[in-house]
Homo-oligomer: A and B are copies of this chain.
Amino acid sequence: MILNSAHRAYMALALQEAQKAIKKGEVPVGAVIVNDQGIVAKAHNNVETKKNACYHAEILAINSACKALNSKFLDECMLYVTLEPCCMCIQAIYTSRIKKLFFGASITPYTKGLIDNSPKMLEVYEGLLEKESQMLLTSFFTSLRNKKTTL
């Protein structure tokens, strides 16, 4: 698959979501769900603000997309997320039957096996706007270390 400007534009939008997260003191991860008609849902990591460790960008984007489409499955949808999904999120992506997953940075290599060995029909494209996604995360954690706080 050739990644065209539309793919980059959607990931840029996910990055904008990640920037919203960083302004709120959240780990900067953003997600966008699109279908053939365009954008269905946008969300960012909201763990600290909403006080729920499961409120990752992907989960919130899936919840929002299901509401927007009034559908329990998202089988015509593509998910763009700035960071490789964690084990919980990758399972939620399978459960909601998302068709294609694009992610940027990769700091959780242990989910790789889950993605590679999945029997599900999920197409995965990694490294889209990887540098930009990674830079946002690095600057967030560097600033956190300088403040000597932890999440």
Contact surface of A with B, Cβ cutoff 8 Å:
47-48, 50-54, 59, 62-63, 66-67, 70-73, 86-88, 91-92, 94-97
Q: For residue A59, which residue of chain B has the nearest CB?
A: B54
7 other A-B residue contacts (CB within 8 Å) besides A52-B62, A54-B63, A91-B91:
A50-B66, A52-B67, A54-B92, A54-B96, A86-B91, A88-B94, A88-B95
Bound: A52/B67 CA distance, A: 8
Within the oligomer, what is the number of copies of this chain? 2
Q: For residue A89, which residue of chain B has the nearest CB?
A: B91
Asked if B52 and A63 make an inter-chain contact with CB atoms under 8 angstroms apart, the answer reads yes
> Separation in Å of the A27 CB from the closest CB of chain B?
12
Please indicate the chain B residues that have their CB under 8 angstroms from the CB of A92 in the complex: 54, 88
Given A47-B72, A72-B47, A88-B88; A66-B95 close (CB under 8 Å): no
